[in-house]
């Protein structure tokens, strides 16, 4: 995984192809050796057997895409607020807080609702709102009112909050109780791979479009990832 992250970062920085190909080759070889070593193990370090369960696999894909969208947003938004919308660093900090605050408020509500409604439905709707919120941020006028920004950030936060708790419940409940450790590891892996991939894609957007248009590209790409995560979440309504 360290080699995979290095390959993603090098590719995003448009490094020379050997600097991308070498860690990618290490990733493939090390992954193959790990799978061979762990084959048949009752509790493998990389629990691919759990990914054979449709609900677990779809929840993992949903998490990776959603956290990639979050990574794209969290890394690009400070640049967007300061470089494009010309807000000072203190204002930027307060604007970023609005997303996290709404996530904290929405997550417990979504957790209680997941006892009565399918996680695929709650996550799908929430991630659709996240995608819509990121699109609305990218389409802000040149001099928006602070309330316009806060409302769009709140929409993103509410959408992400309604995904997070139900998705965590779906992942843990779709694995056998004796494999809860492996399921927890997959959750951490999906989160970190998604966030790191999102950050690497922000660097790629900045490299291709510059500091003025790069944040907007990143927000648009994040909206696409959120949309893909929403579709994966809705697909769980038919998974067994």
Rg of the chain over all Cα atoms, to the nearest angstrom? 19
The answer to whether residue 129 scores a pLDDT higher than 90 is yes
Average pLDDT over every residue of 37-55: 81
> pLDDT band at 15, cuts 50/70/90?
confident
SS3 per residue for 102-125: HHHHHHHHHHHHCCCCCHHHHHHH
**Average pLDDT of the chain, as a whole number:** 90
pLDDT of 179: 83
Two structure tokens written together for 169? 């419940």
Please report, for residues 15, 193, 203, the alpha-carbon distance to residue 22 in angstroms, rounded to integers and kept in the order given. 12, 19, 20
- Residue 173 CB-density burial (10 A; 0-12 exposed, 13-18 middle, 19+ buried): middle
The answer to whether residue 231 scores a pLDDT higher than 70 is yes
Query: What's the pLDDT tens digit per position in 88-112?
Result: 999 999 999 999 999 999 988 998 8
pLDDT of 240: 66
Second-level CATH architecture of 48-238: Up-down Bundle (1.20)
CA 170 to CA 220: how far, in whole Å? 28
pLDDT of 152: 95
Phi then psi for 44, rounded to 5 degrees?
-65, 150
> pLDDT band at 73, cuts 50/70/90?
very high
> pLDDT band at 36, cuts 50/70/90?
confident
CA 122 to CA 115: how far, in whole Å? 11
Beta-carbon count within 10 A of 125 CB: 18
Q: Please, what sign has the CA dihedral across residues 172, 175, 179, 183?
A: negative
DSSP designation for 141: -
Asked if residue 156 lies in contact with residue 130, where contact means CB atoms within 8 angstroms, the answer is yes
In sequence order, the 6+-apart residues with CB closer than 8 A to the CB of 93 are none
pLDDT of 222: 96
DSSP designation for 47: -
In sequence order, the 6+-apart residues with CB closer than 8 A to the CB of 17 are none
Provide the whole-model pTM.
Answer: 0.89
pLDDT of 12: 82
Average pLDDT over every residue of 38-45: 78
- Domain spans, the chain: 1-46, 48-238
Tell me what percent of the residues of the chain surpass a pLDDT of 70. Answer: 100
Beta strands in the chain (DSSP E): none
Please report, for residues 129, 205, 223, the alpha-carbon distance to residue 15 in angstroms, rounded to integers and kept in the order given. 35, 14, 26
Helix (H) or strand (E) holding 193: helix 180-235
- % helix / strand / coil in the chain, to the nearest 5? 85, 0, 15
The answer to whether residue 239 scores a pLDDT higher than 80 is no
């Amino acid at each position: 995984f360290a080699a995979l992250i290095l390959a993603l970062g090098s590719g995003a920085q448009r490094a020379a192809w050997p600097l991308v190909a070498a860690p990618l080759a290490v990733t493939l070889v090390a992954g193959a050796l790990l799978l061979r070593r762990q084959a048949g193990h009752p509790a493998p370090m990389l629990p691919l057997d759990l990914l054979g369960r449709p609900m677990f696999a779809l929840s993992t894909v949903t998490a990776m895409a959603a956290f990639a969208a979050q990574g794209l947003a969290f890394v690009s938004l400070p640049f967007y607020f300061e470089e494009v919308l010309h807000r000072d660093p203190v204002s930027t900090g307060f604007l970023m807080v609005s997303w996290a605050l709404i996530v904290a408020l929405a997550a417990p509500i979504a957790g209680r609702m997941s006892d009565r409604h399918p996680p695929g439905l709650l996550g799908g709707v929430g991630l659709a709102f996240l995608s819509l919120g990121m699109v609305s941020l990218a389409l802000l006028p040149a001099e928006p009112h602070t309330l316009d920004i806060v409302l769009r950030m709140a929409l993103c936060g509410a959408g992400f909050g309604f995904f997070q708790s139900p998705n965590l419940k779906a992942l843990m409940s779709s694995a056998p109780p004796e494999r809860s450790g492996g399921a927890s590891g997959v959750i951490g892996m999906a989160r970190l791979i998604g966030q790191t991939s999102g950050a690497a894609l922000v660097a790629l957007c900045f490299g291709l479009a510059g500091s003025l248009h790069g944040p907007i590209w990143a927000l648009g790409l994040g909206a696409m990832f959120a949309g893909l995560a929403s579709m994966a979440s809705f697909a769980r309504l038919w998974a067994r």
